[in-house]
Amino acid sequence: MRGKNIVIGICGGIAAYKIPHLVRLLKKKGAHVRVALTEGGAHFVSELALATVSEEPVYGKIFPPMGTERMDFTRHISLGEWADALVIAPATANTLARLSAGLCDDMLSALFITLRPGKPVLIFPAMDGQMFLSPSVQRNIATLATQGCSIINPESGELASGLCGVGRMPEPEAILAALEEALHENRECSPLRGKRVVVTAGPTREKIDGVRFISNYSSGKMGFALARAASKRGALVTLIAGPVHLPTPPDVERLDVESTAEMNVIAEGFFKSCDLFIGAAAVSDYRPAMPYEGKMKKDDEIIELTLVKNPDILAGFGMQKNASQIAVGFALETRTGLESARKKLVSKNLDLIAFNFFDRKTSGFEVDTNILTLIGSDGAITELPQLTKDAAAEKLLDAVELLYLKRTVNP
């Protein structure tokens, strides 16, 4: 749950009073929570309570009131992009009807439409038993289920009407457990499942002589995080690693190399067979033309080292890939980043590039966090905040999954 972005939609049912507790449970688990409150929901639970526990403004009407400090008219889209999962609890008969009809007249219904494909939607209907069993409610539930929503049937027990029967919303703890399971299952049905993924990671070393080399500060952490995250999503991962001291992620095939030339030969062996190639290695662009045999002596005041260009491994893959293969690269930049990253995306024929701002404190080599901006070949830009490299890897793979989903919709 840590680092996950969860939106909770609350509708006008008495069980709404339990949702602040659910928000607290999620926050304790490290999730980021935003609430979309319907007009009916606002009768049962206060906006102030929800804003306080979620530490976020509450989303209600689709149009922000005129004259508010920040007029953000596209919040319904940014919220849909932000969410890793949507929980609607309690879901009333009215909201079920609006969602199944595709209405889009408040933030919850708009978010439902703008949610990224493949993200779990859990709906917890809660209402009087007769209402729940009525043909129209059942028809709307069936429609939403065919759209891929998970409908969690209400429990039996005492209802607000004083009657006993089916209709009660499960307790917040049960909702949390269902959400955790759904996010896990989401992994199980990831478009990356069964895909052959190759990741290059770490620095390379270029020999000057028998005891010296040219290299860089790359720790390999980002590439290893990507290999770990892809493997967790069910991909068959090969990690081609330069010289780093990092444990091999579970279920990942690791091939250790030293120089760019070695990395290139191994990588080329996977060019035809892999589905996704991620170039996360900080490859040395040049190597000494003639490495000295043995150890060079310091006889001369000045020595000159002639360097020759190394092959560009990622560009090699990008240039030969077929229509079903995906190429992802990084652009480590200290200045004029975005433009340079865009140029690399085009010149290497990539599908996605992560502009990686380098400042050695918050992002780039050696540190445990990264600040990435993802640029797609369609021009789409996603700016990620400072994240741990594990969390950044998850976000980058989310973007890759989206590419696969788009290809399924528009082959």
Binding stretches for ligand CTP (CB under 6 A): 200, 260, 279, 281, 283, 285, 310, 312-314, 329-332, 344
**Residue closer to ligand CTP, measured from CB, 174 or 315:** 315
Nearer to ligand CTP, 170 or 279 (CB): 279
**Cα distance from N-terminal residue to C-terminal residue, the chain:** 33
Instruction: Report the distance separating Cα 252 and Cα 83, nearest Å.
Output: 29
Note if 216 is an active site residue: yes
Residue placing its CB nearer to ligand CTP in the complex, 121 or 201:
201
Q: For residue 258, how many other CB atoms are within 10 A of its CB?
A: 16
Sign of CA dihedral 210, 211, 215, 220: positive
Strand ranges (DSSP E) for 108-187? 121-125, 150-151, 155-158, 164-168
Nearest approach, Cβ of 211 to ligand CTP (angstroms)? 24
359 contacts: CB under 8 Å, gap ≥ 6: 334
For ligand CTP, give the closer residue by CB, 149 or 283: 283
Per the CB < 8 A criterion, the answer to whether 392 and 370 are in contact is: yes
Q: Which residues contact 277 (CB under 8 A, 6 or more apart)?
A: 197, 198, 267, 270, 271, 314, 317, 321, 325, 326, 327, 328
Q: Are strands 381-388 and 369-376 parallel, antiparallel or unpaired?
A: antiparallel
CB of 11 to ligand CTP, least distance (A): 46
**Which strands sit side by side in the sheet containing 196-201, from one edge to the other?**
253-256, 236-241, 196-201, 276-279, 326-333, 352-357, 369-376, 381-388
DSSP 33-62: EEEEE-TTGGGTS-HHHHHHHHTSPPB-SS
Query: In the structure encoding, which two tokens stand for residue 42, read together?
Result: 């606002």
Evaluate whether 230 touches 274 at the Cβ level (below 8 Å). no
Cα 119 from Cα 80, distance rounded (Å): 10
Is the CB of 57 or the CB of 337 nearer to ligand CTP? Answer: 337
Q: Which of 64, 337 has the CB closer to ligand CTP?
A: 337
CB 159 within 8 A of CB 168: yes
95 vs 310, beta carbon nearer ligand CTP? 310
Give whichever of 178 and 252 is closer to ligand CTP, judged by the CB atom: 252
Q: Which of 216, 349, 356, 370 is catalytic?
A: 216
CB of 311 to ligand CTP, least distance (A): 6
CB of 313 closer than 8 Å to CB of 234: no
**CB of residue 208 to ligand CTP, shortest distance in Å:** 18
Least spacing, CB of residue 197 vs ligand CTP, in Å: 14
The distance of closest approach from Cβ of residue 375 to ligand CTP in the complex, given in angstroms and rounded to an integer, is 12
Q: Which helix (H) or strand (E) holds 241?
A: strand 236-241
Cα-flanking dihedrals φ and ψ of residue 130, to 5°? -65, -40
Q: What are phi and psi of 133, to 5 degrees?
A: -85, -5
Nearest to 207 by CA among 271, 290, 308: 290
Output the smallest distance, CB 240 to ligand CTP, in A: 10
Residue 244: Cβ within 10 Å count: 16
Question: Whole-number minimum distance, CB 273 to ligand CTP, in Å?
Answer: 18
Active-site residue set: 216
